[in-house]
Amino acid sequence: MTPFLIASAVKVFVVFNLIMVGVALLTLAERRICAWMQDRLGPNRVGPQGLFQPAADGLKNFLKEETYPAQADKTLFILAPLISFVPALLTFAVIPFAAPLPTPWGVVPMVVADLPVGFLYILAISSLGVYGIVLAGWSSNNKYALLGGLRASAQMISYEIALGMSTVAVLLLAGNVTLSQVIAQQQQGAWFVISLTLAFLIFMISAFAETNRLPFDLPEAEAELIAGYHIEYSAMKFSMFYIAEYSNMVTASALMATLFFGGWDIPFTHWDDAGEPSVWKTLATLVAFLAKTGFFLFTYIWIRWTLPRFRYDQLMALGWKVLLPLALVYLAVIATAIWYLHEQLGWTYGTPMALALGGVNLVLLVILLWGLDRGRILSGSTAEVA
């Protein structure tokens, strides 16, 4: 019991600090990447290549004055950033980030808490973050903050449904809600992005909406609501909302890598999942996991500085009229395909079954693109110019 408690404490300490340092560096990466996209330099004065800019920003927020609106509900005003901040850090606890590490006291799994209901835990805890945003908007006693909080609650509730439904297909194929078993199932055949391509696209779009990132950043639209739900916040309470947003980005990127891209699995080899555990396997799989997560984090930044913001009616219509019906229809089709291949043909999940399901997804994707296009992109514009 003692080695287990010590190992758990060490993993909590290391993962928490890595996330906090990673979030700080991610803010720098976003500013440098957006500067690169816009042909400018970005932060480059504080430290070599601007490396100490996040530390300078953090120090500035620690030293700034805390302000409180005169008519605000002070208790809820203080609690709101904490309610957003804590769930954002808790959700990473069940994501495996490397192969098990051999130690003199036994093999230690590289996950803070290998819960048997790991993915359900993530859905439950991540949904609590919206309470902090709503309370921040309401307790500020500011109409712009209130509108931002209401927008955030409606948006996150709408897209949580599509996000949850898209992952049901993963659970059907994996047969388990433990994320370690989801990775193990992908190691036996092919990554789920091949056999569940449409589910991945639905999950990715919903994840962008859940993290309030462009083109879904309506709750804090600067042109309409000034700064949305955190307009009255300053100093570290203001920073906690940003830390929560970037932590949610890290968790969503890690989830996409885990559910659809094999997690810490190294492609084109079985060296990492066969034989005895070793330190080199742990380090190599950690690098693979970080590379996959980093790719999706770059995609978050890339999309933000490429696409314009949706109108609010477009955002809600996409969630309720497109993604939710699409997820329901897709779930029915893919469940039927899995049942037929598994029960009628006797196939188990492997490369042949993954390719067969990939073919089904390809057909569905072509039908979807044709239906959404409606002659405007693929077929060329048919409307006459007045």
pLDDT tens across 188-201, in order? Answer: 888 999 999 999 99
Q: Is residue 6, in this structure, part of any structural domain at all?
A: no
Residue 135 pLDDT > 80: yes
SS3 43: coil
SS3 349: coil
Residue 181 lies in a domain: yes
* Alpha carbon distance 227, 220 (integer Å): 5
The answer to the question of residue 49 being in a domain is: no
Domain assignment present for residue 281? The answer is: yes
Per-residue model confidence (pLDDT) at position 328:
93
**Matching residue, tokens 């933000």:** 304
Task: Return d(Cα 251, Cα 253) in angstroms, integer.
Answer: 5
pTM of the model: 0.89
292 in any annotated domain: yes
- What is the identity of the amino acid at 318? L
Residue 15 domain-assigned? Answer: no
The boundaries of the domain holding residue 304 are: 67-265+275-373
Give me the residue label for tokens 């440098």: 32
pLDDT by residue (tens digit) across 333-368? 999 999 999 888 888 888 889 999 999 999 999 888
Classify the C-alpha dihedral 274-277-282-283 as positive or negative: negative
Report the domain count for the chain.
1
Whether 308 is in a domain gets the answer yes
Does residue 117 belong to any structural domain of this protein?
Answer: yes
